[in-house]
Amino acid sequence: MTHLQEFVDLLGADRVLPAGPKVTGYLRDFSWYSPILENALADTTVDAVMRPRSLDDLTAVVALAAERRIPLTIRGAGTGNYGQSLPLRQGIVVDIKDIAGVLEIGAGRIAVLPGTLMQDAEAAAQETGQEMAVMPSTYRVATASGFICGGSGGLGGAANGDLWDGNILAVEMLTVEEKPRLIRLEGGDVRPVLHTYGTIGVVTRVEMRLVPARDHRAMYAVFADFQDAAGFAYDLTASDVRLRLCSLHQAPIGSMLKPLAGAYDPADHVLLLWADAAHVAKVGAMARRYGGRLEPDWPAKTHITQFPFSHTILWSRKADPGSSWLQCEYSDDRERFLGQTASVSERYPGVFLQHIEFIESAGRIRPLGIPPLVGLPDHEAALEELMAYCAGLGITLLNPHSYIVEEGGFVGDTAQVATLKQTSDPYHILNPGKLGEGFFTSRGPTPPSLRTRTRSKEKRA
């Protein structure tokens, strides 16, 4: 790399890892969940990895990258599922994990440095009698900036919604210019940063919402009929029972969650609940009315948070390495939702295994599907057909087989993002290739990284 020495002069040799075996780990994340992305990102490379120790170091790296027009991609813990932190156009990857720590904490609010683990933010909140309003199920390893730039929601969502529901109160970020500017975004203005894969600025401070802590208890309920379970989970989330998690698994997913599998019959549909301990009796009585049975004692050493959201796919891929996955949002209307689950069960029995996280967002119940897909004969063709079928039912698809922000489907209108990017990343060197391009919709038989190389060879010729 031509400018490597200049980065070494800034950070010191121990903080700059040149391309080679030591950086291989930085070229992996959890995009292998998707056979399509796994193939597309297989030959990703990077020129060097920077490990700044402080915000001053980070600012100096950003300034130098801007001056030399070197593509830069920021990385937290690298647990993203869509290749968000993998560099498509080489350049440098900047690991922000060492820029960590809680800056301020008060009623309803915590401010942290970007590399702070969500687990550490949660621990600090608990010390004040509060808890994170929302955090990913990977909170033990995920960073705060990685969560807001690459994630969408998670634990706490059953009461507090997701990233877009006022849970991210403010963000500070550096622009990618020779003289980086610090921009502060508050309230609704933080939206362009949310789930846009770190393409519009380098986040230096994250302020998140806290809610009063509760004594949450892990438990599960089993049902013989999936429709009964789905109706129960919807109504429970809508009720006044205080939930931090409401995660429904159609059989045979339950048997794929290995540490739990002996606790119930493989034919059971299983609902994982993390609910206020004071409400156990109420939940039990309600489950009985819906034809289910609540088990108030957690049956495994593995914590309940290691099974829901994308963790379910970790278990299903282990149980069936040939399986794939999808993300989607069912209707928020109870009857339409139940119609959709019934249709999917009928059309794709044993293939589209319905795993649904129930999110309450501004009074609306939003069933978020994260289904394992098993036994698809020709993965790509079958996937397209299945997605078209779901769209026909009015299920919104959140395609996890693309690394492009817009194609993922979580971020609606990206016009505000594009406008901000014009001044915050004027040279378009921040995580290039992830915003405003096409992958899933225009992919050919060759991986995109190969296409990029071919294009640059053509330019040189």
What is the per-residue DSSP string for 200-231? Answer: S-EEEEEEEEEEE---EEEEEEEES-HHHHHH
Stretch that binds ligand FAD, among 175-183, 197-205, 254-262, 316-324 (CB under 6 A): 197-205
What one-letter code names the amino acid at 144?
A
- Say if residues 157 and 357 touch (Cβ distance below 8 Å): yes
Q: Cα(404)–Cα(433) distance, rounded to whole angstroms?
A: 7
- Nearest approach in angstroms of CB 423 to ligand FAD is 16
* Distance in Å, CB of 105 to ligand FAD, minimum: 20
Q: Which listed residue (71, 87, 91, 136) binds ligand FAD by CB under 6 A?
A: 136
Under the binding rule (CB under 6 A), the answer on residue 153 touching ligand FAD is: yes
Report in angstroms how near the CB of residue 184 gets to ligand FAD at its nearest: 14
Please give the single-letter amino acid code of residue 428. H
**Shortest approach of ligand FAD to residue 432 CB, angstroms?**
11
Quick one: 84 or 316, whose CB is closer to ligand FAD? 84
- The single residue among 65, 113, 142, 429 that binds ligand FAD, judged by CB under 6 A, is 142
Q: How far is the CB of 205 from ligand FAD (least distance, A)?
A: 9
Stretch that binds ligand FAD, among 70-78, 218-226, 329-337, 444-452 (CB under 6 A): 70-78
β 48-50/16-18 pair status? antiparallel
Applying CB under 6 A, does 305 fall inside the site for ligand FAD? no
Kindly state whether residue 431 participates in binding ligand FAD, applying the rule CB under 6 A: yes
Binding ligand FAD by CB under 6 A: which of 52, 91, 146, 448? 146
- The values of phi and psi at residue 212, to 5°, are -60, 135
Q: How many CB atoms lie within 10 A of CB 128?
A: 14
CB of 77 to ligand FAD, least distance (A): 3
Q: Which is nearer to ligand FAD, 75 or 366 (CB)?
A: 75
Is residue 323 near ligand FAD by the rule CB under 6 A? no
195 with 410: CB under 8 angstroms?
A: yes
Which of 140, 102, 10, 25 lies closest to 64, judged by CA? 10
Bridge partners of residue 273, in order along the sequence: 219, 246
Taking the complex as a whole, the smallest distance from the CB of residue 46 to ligand FAD amounts, in Å, to 13
Burial of 280 (0-12, 13-18, 19+ CB in 10 A): middle
276-282 long-range Cβ contacts below 8 angstroms, 24+ apart? 276/214, 276/215, 276/216, 276/217, 276/241, 276/242, 276/243, 277/215, 277/216, 277/217, 278/215, 279/241, 279/242, 280/217, 280/219, 282/241
Binding residue for ligand FAD (CB under 6 A) from 52, 71, 91, 154? 154
Site for ligand FAD in 13-42 (CB under 6 A): 29-30
Shortest Cβ 342–ligand FAD spacing (Å): 27
Q: How far is the CB of 267 from ligand FAD (least distance, A)?
A: 26
Residue range at the interface with ligand FAD (CB under 6 A); choices 198-206, 223-231, 380-388, 396-404 = 198-206
- Contact status, residue 11 vs residue 52, Cβ threshold 8 Å: yes
CB of 162 to ligand FAD, least distance (A): 8
Least CB distance from residue 377 to ligand FAD, whole Å? 26
**Taking CB under 6 A as the rule, does residue 150 contact ligand FAD?**
yes
Q: At 49, phi and psi to the nearest 5?
A: -115, 135
Q: How far is the CB of 196 from ligand FAD (least distance, A)?
A: 8
Largest CA distance in the chain: 73
168 is a site residue for ligand FAD (CB under 6 A): no
Which residues contact residue 349 at a Cβ distance below 8 angstroms, ignoring those fewer than 6 apart?
none
369 sits near ligand FAD (criterion: CB under 6 A): no
Q: Which is nearer to ligand FAD, 64 or 142 (CB)?
A: 142
Q: Which two tokens stand for residue 382?
A: 């079958």
* Dist. CA 33–CA 437, nearest whole Å: 22
Of 31, 34, 44, 85, the one binding ligand FAD by CB under 6 A? 85
> Rule CB under 6 A: which of 324-343 touch ligand FAD?
none
Q: Which uninterrupted H or E stretch holds 143?
A: none
114 binds ligand FAD (CB under 6 A): yes
Q: Does 202 bind ligand FAD (CB under 6 A)?
A: yes
**CA–CA distance, 219 with 274 (Å, rounded to integer):** 6
**Nearest CB to ligand FAD, comparing residues 402 and 431:** 431
Q: Are 82 and 102 in contact (CB under 8 A)?
A: no
Piece of 78-86, 374-382, 384-392, 453-461 that binds ligand FAD (CB under 6 A): 78-86
Q: Which residues make up the interface to ligand FAD (CB under 6 A)?
A: 29-30, 73-81, 84-85, 96, 114, 136-138, 142-143, 145-147, 149-154, 197-198, 202-203, 309-311, 314, 431
